[in-house]
Structure 1
Amino acid sequence: MRTIWRILKMKFDFKDKKKFYDNIRNRILTDINIKITCFILAVIMYVLVSFSQLSEKSFTKKINIKGMKGDFVISNNLPDSVRFVIKDKKRIIERVSEDDFNIVLDLSEYESKGKGTYLVKLQWTYPKIMKSFFSGIEVSPEILSVTIESIKQKNIPISVPTFGNVKSGYMIKERKVNPSEVRVQGPESVIESITSIDTEKIDISEASESFERIVKLNNNSNKIKVVGPADISVFYAIARKTETKTFKVKKVTVNNLNQKFDYSIENLPLNITLSGSETIMSAITENNIYVSIDVSNANIPGEYNYRDFNIEVPADVNVVTVVPRTLIITIEDKN
């Protein structure tokens, strides 16, 4: 400091203040254009050198959504996260991480506007150490198209997809789904377009016995919320495939007829319809059907109507219908 003061005393005459200030002013204003130009060039060079020494780092950050009212919901697909690139001096870049940033989609101002489609600019926050002139951040995408709709609920039926086939010769006789429908909630346009909701697929390959499965709903839409039970009970009744055939039976055995009588049956043949598995039914003929009737009450000659007659068929075969249902038997004396 003393040295600087001696130099100033040598250069300027401090006894004459006016002369002193004039000297200072003259020295400053001399070649002022050149001095200003040099100063500007120095600043530019500083900035250029500083920017050339900047480092950058990129992150992927999840978008935080705030400001949505309870009776509205976003109905279009938005990216879960955005990519952003930060630029700053290397020593700053090395000190920051993804957790130091926050990307926000603020929908607060759209509460009063209600449903519609809006272009909303994302907002973000810097860490404090990135507040310099050289700090920068680029977010992609920076503006999102957001569609806001009213929330709606409705009941829709539950659909149960399957894969595979039951064992040959068997069939699904009945299927029970409990509950048979479920309540869903979501954007009005999405809910209106839904006609059913699937469960997980059920394997019925080679099934030959009835079974029950507990499955989950297969909700593939992130716009739909299921309001109800998560577990669905599905019962399958598995039975043999049945075939129905009608046979014309002309032979009827009459039992307990008094030996002094003869008989005749007027309304034969009987059309007997049977049902059973395909394998069994394919082997049945009229000869496998035995029809008998008890006429022990026929004590005198005459015409008798019988509805109660016995029909015997092979095992696992059912009698479906008999036509005619009444047999007319005429009893008469032997000659």
Structure 2
Amino acid sequence: MAYHPFRNIGLKLVALSLAALLWLAVGGEETAERYLPVPLEFQNVPTGLEISGDPPASVNARVRGSSGNLARMQLGEVVAVLDLRGVRSGEKLFHLLPEQVRTPFGVDVIEVSPSSFSLRVERSTVEDVLVVPEITGRPAPGYVMGKVTTDPATVRVAGPESRVQQLTRATTEPLSIERASAPLQERMAIGVADDQVRLLGAREALVTVDIIQAPVERAFADVPVRAVDVSSSLKVSLTPATVSVTVRGTRQAVARLTIDDIDAQVDLSDLQAGRYTLPVKIAPVGDVRVATVAPDHVAVRVRP
């Protein structure tokens, strides 16, 4: 087929005009430079390894291009890329070159700062840690906080080996017991203090806080002390013969208690005639516990 240079001459002239206008528009723009904070992207991290410490989140790049191209750059178009393919665990020094910075067409990278930095690469590990709820506030007057439980009691975490080993617990968002007079149960979010350690599985825990009546104390004077496990052939005298006992428990349990409910004893098993100083023991009294016994020892004389 014969070549006709003037075929579609109109379209060719339009294309030539557009190219000339584009050349004039670009060629007429001044070349400019700009310093930019550039996000740092880590690629091809080997399976089973993680970056530890505080790696830089960004670097500074000096870029050059036409003022129009620089003005039209969008967030995320300029990214520094560090390829960790084949890296092994340990402290490593990495270099970052201008050609490792991804830019749009017409923009060149002249300089990257810092051009080198250290990274610690560690083995990734998984552990179970306790969930310890954060409790704030005080119960209503006359009440105290009792047993605190979480469900689940532990949570699985993952991260760089050294960071996971330092982590002793996960915690929850604060649960207020301010002026509470009854048990509380809330579903709370779980978190860890180290931002390089991440949760696996459960993200919430059911926290149960028992709110119980505050214990009260009551003192009983002149509680008789009796000798137990003494041979029938022996005579015993105790000095003093009575003690003072202070008990602690719930208001209802302490109020029901009488002096006859308190059994103060000294154990004389396997003792022969003689003089002894022996401890005074109080037999258990339901849910009430003994706070003090005064005196807590008595002089014992054993005679045939």
User: Under a length normalisation based on structure 1, what TM-score does the superposition of the two structures give?
Assistant: 0.56
Matched, 1:159 2:159: no
**Structure 2 CA distance for partners of 1:195 and 1:96, relative to 1, 3 Å:** closer
1:149: which partner in 2? 122
1:174: which partner in 2? 147
- In the alignment, structure 1 segments of 5+ residues that lack a partner are 1-49, 251-267, 292-317, 322-335
Displacement after TM superposition at 1:93 (Å): 3.0
Q: CA RMSD in A?
A: 3.6
1:100 pairs, out of 74, 77, 81, with 77
The 8 Å contact of residues 273 and 320 in structure 1, kept in 2 or not, is answered as no
2:42: which partner in 1? 65
Which structure is larger by alpha-carbon Rg, 1 or 2?
1
The 8 Å contact of residues 220 and 246 in structure 2, kept in 1 or not, is answered as yes
More helix by share: 1
Equivalent residue pairs, number: 219
Displacement after TM superposition at 1:271 (Å): 9.4
**Structure 2 CA distance for partners of 1:137 and 1:98, relative to 1, 3 Å:** farther
Matched, 1:197 2:170: yes
Q: Aligned partners of 2:55 and 2:121: how far apart in 1?
A: 12
1:227: which partner in 2? 200
1:258: which partner in 2? none
Displacement after TM superposition at 1:69 (Å): 1.4
Aligned residue runs from structure 1 range 236-251, under 5 A = 236-245=209-218, 247=220
- In the alignment, structure 2 segments of 5+ residues that lack a partner are 1-26, 224-240, 261-285, 290-304
The 8 Å contact of residues 175 and 237 in structure 1, kept in 2 or not, is answered as yes
Same amino acid, percent of matched pairs: 22
More strand by share: 2
Q: Which secondary structure does the structure 1 equivalent of 2:149 belong to?
A: strand
**Structure 2 CA distance for partners of 1:139 and 1:271, relative to 1, 3 Å:** same
User: Under a length normalisation based on structure 2, what TM-score does the superposition of the two structures give?
Assistant: 0.61
2:295: which partner in 1? none
**Structure 2 CA distance for partners of 1:55 and 1:165, relative to 1, 3 Å:** same
Displacement after TM superposition at 1:244 (Å): 4.2
Q: Aligned partners of 2:218 and 2:72: how far apart in 1?
A: 86
1:128: which partner in 2? 105
1:54: which partner in 2? 31
The 8 Å contact of residues 169 and 192 in structure 2, kept in 1 or not, is answered as no
The 8 Å contact of residues 275 and 319 in structure 1, kept in 2 or not, is answered as no
Q: Which secondary structure does the structure 2 equivalent of 1:128 belong to?
A: coil
Q: Aligned partners of 2:105 and 2:55: how far apart in 1?
A: 29
